Structure 1
Amino acid sequence: MDQGLTGLVLFTVAVAALSTVLILVPGVAAAYALARWKGPGRGVVETLLALPLVLPPTAVGLVLLELLARDSALGRLLDALGVEVVFTPKAVVLASAVMAFPLLVRSARAGFEEVDPRLVAVARTLGDTRTRAFFRVTLPLAWRGVLTGALLAFSRALGEFGATVLVAGNIPGSTQTLSLAIFQRTQVGQDAEALKLAGVSVVLAFGAMYVTEVVTRRRGARGLV
């Protein structure tokens, strides 16, 4: 693997990892809240959180671009703090995180819904606080859903394109990821190079999904012993 390709792969993996870490805590919190929320309005919240899955990625990128514009409230705040996001690597991470967030929430929520509430109630009667019961009982029992969601989010971030190109651009050596590089190569007629990059993307995505299957099955098998 040549030096340029190595840097591109490392940057793409780093962006996917950082975006997954960025959404992990809020994603798990949202998933747990949705799993336990039985009141009205849950469907509306679930739909709003799932919108990035069904909206065109370019539409999500446009919304992010407007939110981060210098004349917006958030843009003025970031400008006052001296933080620049648009067309920087930060924008790549942000766009990838937004697009991957729903996958983490949906999978983690399914994991939390499988936890028997009676087990949590027993922990509470034994003196655990709500927070302690969550970390000692709920989260360990729902870990497969959380892990699957995190790896799905990581895989989604690896291939993010539409939102990224609008809010971060396609700047080689700065904001260009594998998916953006594939697009650029095809635009200039370098189809062989684009296919090479596409192959690398397939290997990375396959690796992430394979790890998910292996870890989940091993833990499941141990639970049956």
Structure 2
Amino acid sequence: MAKTESKVSKFAACILYVVNFIIMVVCCITFSFGLWIIISPVTLSTILDATGSNTLKALVQDMLTLQVGIAVSLVSVLLFFVCFMGFYGAVTGSAFLLFMYAALVLLFLLLECAFLHYFSTNLIEKGLQDDGQWTHAMRLIFKCCEHNTTVAEVKNPPWSCCGPDFYPDNCTSTAIYKKDCNSSITSWLDNFELPIYLLLAVIHVVLSSCSLLRRSCYASRSHS
């Protein structure tokens, strides 16, 4: 029985090592990007121009602000410490760290599902409401425009209704996307919203279960 528990515990630890290490690396890269936005947005803008990607330039240029840089940095730091908690807890077998990590992973699951439900419900009920970066990204992803049915009333369509090549203000009614955004997004959500919920649930429950399993195995060994 002890050997079985040891193998299960090691397998759970391996999952925690790999997943949390990968996320920590991503967090470090994202944190560096956030600091870059804060310290030198002009340099980053120049590099984006040099890539030659119209989509990157169109979507990211307006996001190089101090507020975005601070938000990206803070979120990266938060996720890094949560993942470090799981990684280090799996290494040392700390009951406190493993329990806190499992609880935080489940909390993140609830928050992510709540945000996903809120945004998907808003998109279905209200559609795309403004011309922020999120709206531009949605139009480019689905190659759609919510103004296409009333194009005669739109004198200056948003650039994202025509594509990244028309950034920032070269979009015309003749080049506008033909698909309607509201119907396209609603159809996509009908097909993929449930699988996304299930995928989020599986990932978070597996990580939380591995953490609790690692904790229980260490606890049983310490009492034996």
What TM-score do you get using the length of structure 1 for normalisation? 0.33
Q: Which of 1 and 2 has greater Rg?
A: 2
